[in-house]
Amino acid sequence: MTRKVTNIFIITFISLILVDGLPSTSQFHRWLKGPVDKVTDYLGIWQGSWNLFAPNVDKTNVRLEAMIKYRDGSELIWNSPVWAKMGPVEKFLTFRQAEFYDDVRMDRNRGAWEPLAIYLAKQHPKDETEVRSIELLRIWSEAPPPEGEPFHEHEFMFYTRSFE
């Protein structure tokens, strides 16, 4: 009996993942995806959109930069990991961290900006009480087509935190 229940669980789980993860190619799949989305959302196994792949490839390279200013006048620049400079193994191991930095910069996640600034202040060799302020910047570039012009970076300071 236990083996039968286990097999049913495995088949159900794999079916949910397949229906949720595969692109909709038929009316039947779109009809089936509605109830499956509710189940995967409830179970916390929803896979999200796969913008990395066609037809809507993610073309924006994003990183964060923090300018940490200390009371003695010195400054430190912290950068989130740069995806383009990582090897395949490092990309695999730090994918979730890269997604965090990609998402935390967005206005809808402004509630995370202050905790991120405080966290960065605590991660540096100087005593955190020496930190005067932190500025968080979004830095991004759109990937041009193969025959297009080179990357052009844009930056925007989206959060400032004073510790004085």
What would the pLDDT profile of 130-164 be if each residue is shown by its tens digit?
Answer: 899 999 999 988 877 777 676 788 899 999 999 87
Peptide bond into 55 cis (omega under 30): yes
**Mean pLDDT value across residues 110-135:** 86
- As a whole number of angstroms, the distance between CA 75 and CA 73 comes to 7
| pLDDT at 7 (0 to 100) | 92
| pLDDT at 125 (0 to 100) | 65
DSSP category for residue 23: P
**pLDDT averaged over the chain?**
84
Q: What percent of the chain has pLDDT over 90?
A: 34
- As a whole number of angstroms, the distance between CA 114 and CA 136 comes to 10
pTM of the model: 0.64
